[in-house]
Amino acid sequence: MSRRAAIQSVLGVAGATALSLPQSVYAMQDGKGRPMAGQIKGNGEVKITKLETFLVKPRWIFLKIHTDVGVVGLGEPLLEGRALTIQTAIKEIEPYLIGKDPRNIVHHWQAIYRHAFYRGGPILTSALSGIDHALWDIKGKLLNVPVWELLGGPTRDRVRVYGRASNAEQMRQRKAEGYTVIKTGVAKEHPADFVENPKFVKHAIDNFASLRDAGGDDMDIAIDFHGSIPPQTSKLLIKEMEPYQPYFIEEPCQAQNLDVLAEIARSTHIPIATGERVYTKWGFREVLEKGAASIIQPDLCHAGGITEGRIIAGMAEAYYVPIAPHNPMGPISLAVGLHLAASVPNFLVQEQVSLGEGYLKNPFQLQKDGTVLIPRGPGLGIELDEDQLADKIGHDWRNPESYNALDGSVVDW
C-alpha cells in the first residue's frame, strides 16, 4: 500500500468513526462517567418543550427552558426597567425554539439574531442572551460537565469579584469581609451639569480620597461615572482623581459617541472602562478599534450571552484589553460571568451584587482572598431555591426619572 493510500485509509477509518458516534454521546453521566438512564431518549434526541420567564425581585427576570428529557436550563434575560418588553420578546422567539434540539447553541444564536430584519439593540440581544445562558446550561447538564469545560477548560480556579462602597465606613466593612476590589460612584449633591463648579468637583474628590484612605493603597477602587456625567465635567473630575489612582473609571460619558469616549481615554493614564450598553461583537469592534476603552465590560445579559461574550473576549485579547463583565443583576447572571471568566485568559474582575443568598440552594461564597471559586457542577452549576424564591416573584421596578432642580429639564440618572 502506498503512503498516500495508507494515510487515506487511516483518515477514512477515523472519519467514519467520528461520523458514526451515536447522538446519545450527549447523555448525562454519573460521577464515574457512566451514562445515567432516563436522561436521553433511546434515539439520542432532545427537544425544547417550553420557555418560562419569571419576574424576580428586586428587578430581575429568570428564564427556564424545559426539555422533553426533564433537563431544565436557566438564564437571565434582563433589560432594566423593561421587564415586560423582554418577556414579550422571549414569547415571540419561543415558536422558533419549540421542538428544536437545545444543543445546537451557535446555530440557534445565529437564527434568532439573523432572522430578525432589524438586528441588535438592547431588546433582541437581551432576550437572546438569556436564551443562550439556558442552552449552555442544558448542554452542560446533559454532558455532566461545567460550561467552562465546554469552552476549553479552566484558565483559573477562582474569580476575583468586587463589592460596593460609597463612604469610608462601607469601605472598611467591605475590606473586613474580604473584598480586595471595590466600586463606587461619583459623590454628588445634585445631578452633574455640563460644566461644574469647584464645589461640585471638590465634593466628589474628597469622597474618593476618603475611600482611598480607608481602603489603603492595596485596595483597588473603581469609580463608575454611569454615563451621567457630561464629558466636560468628566475631564475635570478625572484630572483631580489621578493622584488617587482609581482602578478604572467606568463610563465617563455615554458610549453612544465613541469618538468622545476615545478622546477622554487619550487624555488620561487612568484605565477607562465601558461596555454595559454595547451589544454584540459589532459594537465592541468599534470600541476596540477606536481605543475608546482599555477595559471592556460586556454585560452577558445584554451583549449576546456566553456565545457572544467569548467572541468579544477574544477580540479584546488581540488589543491587550481585559474584560470585566458588567453584572448588577442576579445570581444566574453571576454564574454565567464566572464561567466566562474561568475560560478566557484576559479576565480582570467580575461585578456582582448578589452571591445568591435567598435565591440559590448553594449560594456562592466569598473567599478570604476576595474571590469566588469557579462552579464545579454540570451546566452553570447552580440550582434555584424555589422555596425561598416564592415570596420574591413579581416586581414593577422602573428606571428612575431625574430632572434638573432649577429648570425641570431631563438629566441622566
Q: List the domain boundaries for the chain.
A: 149-380
The pTM score is 0.90
pLDDT (mean) for 276-297: 98
Cα 283 to Cα 120: distance, rounded to the nearest angstrom: 9
Please tell me the predicted confidence (pLDDT) of residue 136. 98
Q: Would the CA dihedral through 298, 261, 322, 360 be positive or negative?
A: negative
Distance of CA 155 to the CA centre of its chain: 18
Q: Greater confidence, 256 or 1?
A: 256
**Alpha-helix runs per DSSP H in 216-267:** 231-241, 258-266
Q: Greater confidence, 4 or 191?
A: 191
CATH superfamily for 149-380 is Enolase-like C-terminal domain (3.20.20.120)
Print burial letters for 325-339: b (CB count within 10 Å at least 16), e (below 16): bbbbbbbbbbbbbbb
Q: Greater confidence, 89 or 25?
A: 89
Strand residue runs (E) in 275-319: 295-296
Residue 52: CB atoms within 10 A of its CB come to 12
Closest by CA to 283, choosing from 410, 119, 396, 408, is 119
Indicate the pLDDT class of residue 2, thresholds 50, 70 and 90: low
Cα 147 to Cα 75: distance, rounded to the nearest angstrom: 13
| Helix then strand then coil, % of the chain, to nearest 5 | 40, 15, 45
Does residue 369 carry a pLDDT above 80?
yes
**Catalytically annotated residues:** 226, 326
* Cell numbers describing residue 101: 434540539
Cα 258 to Cα 265: distance, rounded to the nearest angstrom: 10
Distance in Å from the first CA to the final CA of the chain = 76
Judged by phi (left if over 0) then psi (alpha if -120 to 50, else beta), residue 394 lies in left
Give the amino acid at 162. Answer: Y
Does residue 156 carry a pLDDT above 80?
yes
* Cell numbers describing residue 99: 421542538
Print burial letters for 54-92: b (CB count within 10 Å at least 16), e (below 16): ebbeebbbbbbbbbebebbbbbbbbbbebbeebbebbee
In sequence order, the 6+-apart residues with CB closer than 8 A to the CB of 356 are 331, 334, 362, 363, 364, 382
* Cell numbers describing residue 38: 432516563
In sequence order, the 6+-apart residues with CB closer than 8 A to the CB of 222 are 162, 181, 182, 183, 184, 246, 247, 248, 249, 250, 273
Cα 122 to Cα 300: distance, rounded to the nearest angstrom: 12
Does residue 177 carry a pLDDT above 50?
yes
Inter-residue contact 297 to 326 (CB < 8 Å):
yes
In sequence order, the 6+-apart residues with CB closer than 8 A to the CB of 278 are 255, 284, 287, 296, 298, 303
**Do strands 371-373 and 350-351 pair parallel, antiparallel, or not at all (unpaired)?**
unpaired
Does residue 90 carry a pLDDT above 60?
yes
Inter-residue contact 359 to 389 (CB < 8 Å):
yes
Residues 18-77 have pLDDT tens digits of 333 234 334 444 444 434 433 566 668 999 999 999 999 999 999 999 999 999 999 999
What is the pLDDT of the chain when averaged over all its residues?
91
pLDDT (mean) for 151-170: 97
Please tell me the predicted confidence (pLDDT) of residue 78. 87
Cα 400 to Cα 156: distance, rounded to the nearest angstrom: 38
Q: Would the CA dihedral through 199, 201, 204, 209 be positive or negative?
A: negative
Strand residue runs (E) in 234-327: 249-250, 272-274, 295-296
* Cell numbers describing residue 29: 453521566
Residues 232-252 have pLDDT tens digits of 999 999 999 999 999 999 999
Please tell me the predicted confidence (pLDDT) of residue 42. 60
Q: Position of cell 445565529?
A: 110
CA within 13 Å, CB half, 4: 0
Strand residue runs (E) in 94-218: 158-164, 181-185
